[in-house]
Each structure stands twice: as C-alpha cells, then as structure tokens.
Amino acid sequence: MTSSASPRRDARRNHERLLAEARTLFTERGIDAPLDELATRAGVGPGTVYRHFANRDALIRELYDAGVSDLHGLAPGILSAETGWRSIELYLERLAEWLAASPYVPAVMRRMADLDPTYKPGTEFAEAIAGMVARAQEEGTLRPDVTAVDLSVLVDMLGSLGQYGGAYLPFWRRQLTIVLDGLRARPDNTPVPGVGQEFDEFHDMSHAKGPKPSHD
Amino acid sequence: MTSSASPRRDARRNHERLLAEARTLFTERGIDAPLDELATRAGVGPGTVYRHFANRDALIRELYDAGVSDLHGLAPGILSAETGWRSIELYLERLAEWLAASPYVPAVMRRMADLDPTYKPGTEFAEAIAGMVARAQEEGTLRPDVTAVDLSVLVDMLGSLGQYGGAYLPFWRRQLTIVLDGLRARPDNTPVPGVGQEFDEFHDMSHAKGPKPSHD
DNA sequence: TATGATTCGGAGGGTCGGCTCCGTTTCATC
DNA sequence: GATGAAACGGAGCCGACCCTCCGAATCATA
C-alpha cells in the first residue's frame, strides 16, 4: 500500500528531516523520548509527525529498516576481504563502529524483537556470517571453537558501549583489539565452554534460512 | 540524618519487600517501570512507596548502594587469589555473573551518573583494580598494554548482555573465555591502540581517590 | 494565476503515571 | 486494654505525553 504517486516535495523533505532528528534525539535521550519533542526539533507540528509515522513503533521500524539497508551496503567490503581472518576483523570493526555511532540501534533491535517475538534481529545476515566463520576456521586463523552466534554476541557487546554515554566511546577500539586477540587460533587457547540445550536451539535458529516470519 | 530510633516492624518489613520487588520489577520492565505497579506487587498502597523512597531516584540510589555493598563482599575473595592472573579471572567472572543476574544494574549506574555528573560509577574500586592489574602485569601474565579502565569497560561489556533479555544470558561465559584469552600476555599480541587526551583524563579520574562528591 | 488536492500546524481530548493528603489502621508502650 | 505515635492505603490532583482533528497553508497542475 505504498502510495503509487510520488509524495509532494515538502512532505518528502519533512520525512527526511524527521528521520534525521529522530536519530539524534534517540541517541541523546533514548528511543522513548517524547515525539512532541521530535516535532519541535524538526520544526514541524506534532500532527506532521503522526502523518509520516503512525506511531512510535512505525518510526522505529523505519529506522531499523534503514539500518539493515546500511548493513547491506557494508557487507560486500567485509566479505570480499583477501583472507577469512581479515573478514572477521572487518566485520567486528565495521559493526562496532556503526553501533558506536548509533547508540540507539541496540534498543531499536530489542524493540523490534518485542514487536514480533518470532523474529531475531540480525538473522538476515546469519548465513553470510556463518560462511565467513567457516572460511577463517578453514584457514586456521580463527579459533575453531567459536561460532557465528558468538561473533554476533561479541558485536552486540562492543556496540553496547555506546549506551553508556560518550565516556566509553573512545574505548571500543581497545576492547576490539583484545577481543580479536582472543579470537585468534592458538594451540593453547582455553576451550570455550558449551552452553547446553539453549545454545543449540539459538544456534540452529540463527543458521536457519527459512522465510522471515511475516507480521500480523 | 538516618532516623535515630529504630523503625516500626511493619515499616521495616515493607521497606525490604519494596526493595525486593523493585529488583524483580526493574529486571522485567526496566528502571522506568511504574512505581504504582511496584506498590501493587509489594501489596502496599502507592503512598507507602513514597513514604519509604522520596521518589524513583531515591529508590534507585538505594539499590545502587546495596549493589556497592554486594561488591565489597565480593572483593576479598577476588583480591586474595594465589596469583594476579587468577584475580583477574575471578574479577571478570564474578562481576559479569553478578551483572548478568541483575540486568537493571547498568541502567542504575547510568542513572546515578546522570544524577551527579561528577561521579563515575565504579570509581570506588578503582584503586583495588589498579593494584590487581599491576600485580598480574608484574607476573607477566596480563598483557602489559591494558589498564584498570580497560578491565572495567570489559566488565560492563560482558554485563550488558543481560540487557538483551534472557536469550543472550547463556553466552556470557563463552565471551568471557574469549576475552580472557585476549587479555593474556603473549609475545605476538597486537598492541592495544591508544585513545588520546580523553583516555588520559578518564584514566586519571578513575585512579583518583579523592572524596566522593556529595549530593545536593 | 486559479483550482483542487495534499500536507501542515497546533489546540485539545484522553490516558497514564508520579506524587500528595488525610482519614484509617497498626504498632509500641503503659 | 488504653493511648499516642507512626505507618498505611488509596482517592485524586497534576503534569506529561500520545495522538486526533480540522481550518490554514502549501504545492502541483492547468
């Protein structure tokens, strides 16, 4: 039901403006910040906000889709690296960088999962990540006992630093270095502990490539 | 200014009950959950909540103080380990474990920092942590280019997994293993990148042992 | 520029949560 | 048990926020 005709120019301008201001507002005050303030910041009336986004969830969903689109743009550069290990490095760095710059993203992902509990954020890229992990492990550069899920969790961990406000942001590159050294295949690595039933389920889920569950 | 006389028995009982219910409520719904619901869960009227805690921030502050007290209890067991490295292991494990069990804690710490911007949560233990780091680095077991601040940041990262809901909780031990391997001193470790001026300031601050800033 | 359609702005209705106030109840003491 | 003090409960006020509605303004087209 996307409108067939192109929207009026002022409408398009306001839409962009609202999305941009939403990003900074959500970064500063969290994704529950008053939408009336969003209107003020964007220089429009409250009514205009709700003309463009039915409610807060619709706005969040649009931010999420834009984020997924960002990531699709990042993917080729990451996956085409010369070595599997380099891909892993790029993956963690680019994703953590992106998350650090957009601290509202983790909250958005959580909200998305709340809206549709059958959907696990990040699933879109599970296949690509699994391939990357397999390549690096075949090379013998990535420790063999980590999985694609572990990498996703690490990315979320790195990205979560943004939530602590600006103070932690200068640090994530340091933590990234430490994590990467921990991910390197080494004869004397401590074995990564298993996690039981739940891990297997989660793991299978993330590798599944079935159709994305539909909404309502 | 704590009241000189001991409080009535029902008052004490309600106070405990409210704190306990606040922990579960905040775990389930975040630290902005309605306090009227806290009243309902604790089986008291809304008025009683505000008799015990002037407002939400006072409640949060009390939870924070209880948390700091918890940590003081943990400290001896961590610091008295046979080796410096074992202390580091215990520190990361115990703290991450504690944070994973109390997902509301990071939000509480952030709120505390908001209430008093001159106060950095965790500062109370900076000295002990710095000592632990020094010991492990003298042993040659902890990589020499990490600092006490890095460790604190890593703890927060590990603990942040709790915020993503139960799904991630089974994983933190795996990430901990990876991080610990990354922290180990090795001849071929990638140097941890510096962070410039801001790092130095933050670093100095965390090592400072001046008086804790007073409130209002 | 005239015209109709689209979008905008912002006042305001409805809801929800924070917090207060005071009549009622419970507790400690005699 | 009687009595004063302390604590309780919950109705209700207030402010904040979500979202709607419609007259005014803006845009696209002729």
- Nearest-Cα distance to chain A for B36, in Å, is 20
How many other CB atoms are found less than 10 A from the CB of residue A9? 8
CA-closest candidate to residue A165, choices B32, B149, B14, B111: B111
Indicate yes or no: strand C within 7 A of the C-beta of A47: yes
Give the span between the Cα atoms of B101 and B125, in whole angstroms: 20
If contacts are CB pairs under 8 Å, which of residues 104-143 in chain B contact chain A? 106, 110, 113, 120, 143
Protein-proximal positions, strand D, CB < 7 A: 6-12, 16-22, 26-28
Cβ–Cβ contact A182 with B under 8 A: yes
Asked if pLDDT for residue B134 goes beyond 70, the answer is: yes
Asked if pLDDT for residue A49 goes beyond 60, the answer is: yes
CA-closest candidate to residue A123, choices A156, A99, A152: A152
Q: How far is the CA of A14 from the C1' of D26 (A)?
A: 13
Q: Which of B156, B178, B195 sits opposite A146 (nearest CB)?
A: B178
Phi, psi of B184 (to 5 degrees): -65, 140
CA angle (A31, A33, A34) in 5-degree steps: 135
Asked if pLDDT for residue A191 goes beyond 70, the answer is: yes
Q: What is the pLDDT of residue A167?
A: 66
Per-residue pLDDT reduced to its tens digit, B137-159:
999 999 999 999 999 999 989 98
Is B182's CB within 8 Å of A186's CB? no
Give the span between the Cα atoms of A188 and A185, in whole angstroms: 9
Cβ atoms A180, B189 nearer than 8 A = no
- CA A168 from chain centre, in angstroms, equals 19
Protein-proximal positions, strand C, CB < 7 A: 6-12, 16-22, 26-28
Q: Which of A106, A163, A171 sits opposite B153 (nearest CB)?
A: A171
Q: What is the pLDDT of residue B203?
A: 46
If contacts are CB pairs under 8 Å, which of residues 37-96 in chain A contact chain B? none
How many other CB atoms are found less than 10 A from the CB of residue B10? 10
Cβ–Cβ contact B36 with A under 8 A: no
Q: What is the pLDDT of residue B40?
A: 97
Percent of chain A at pLDDT exceeding 70: 86
Give the span between the Cα atoms of B188 and A187, in whole angstroms: 13
DSSP secondary structure, A150-178, as one string:
HHHHHHHHHHHGGGG-GGGGGGHHHHHHH
Phi, psi of A142 (to 5 degrees): -100, 135
Q: What is the pLDDT of residue A110?
A: 87
Element (H, E) at B62: helix B56-79
Phi, psi of B60 (to 5 degrees): -60, -40
CA-closest candidate to residue B156, choices B92, B74, B210, B77: B92
Q: How far is the CA of B12 from the C1' of C30 (A)?
A: 24
Tokens of A79: 């996956």
Phi, psi of B12 (to 5 degrees): -60, -45
Is B181's CB within 8 Å of A182's CB? yes
Q: Is A216 helix (H, G, I), strand (E, B) or coil?
A: coil
Residue A123 identity (one-letter amino acid): T
Per-residue pLDDT reduced to its tens digit, A97-110:
899 888 899 889 88
Give the span between the Cα atoms of A23 and A3, in whole angstroms: 25
Q: Which of B165, B181, B202 sits opposite A190 (nearest CB)?
A: B181
Asked if pLDDT for residue B14 goes beyond 80, the answer is: yes
Q: Sort A165 into a burial class: Cβ within 10 Å, 0-12 / 13-18 / 19+.
A: middle
SS3 string, B153-172, reads HHHHHHHHHHHHCHHHHHHH
Is B189's CB within 8 Å of A175's CB? no
Q: How far is the CA of A180 from the C1' of D19 (A)?
A: 48
Per-residue pLDDT reduced to its tens digit, B100-125:
888 899 899 888 888 887 877 777 88
Per-residue pLDDT reduced to its tens digit, B82-97:
999 999 999 999 999 9
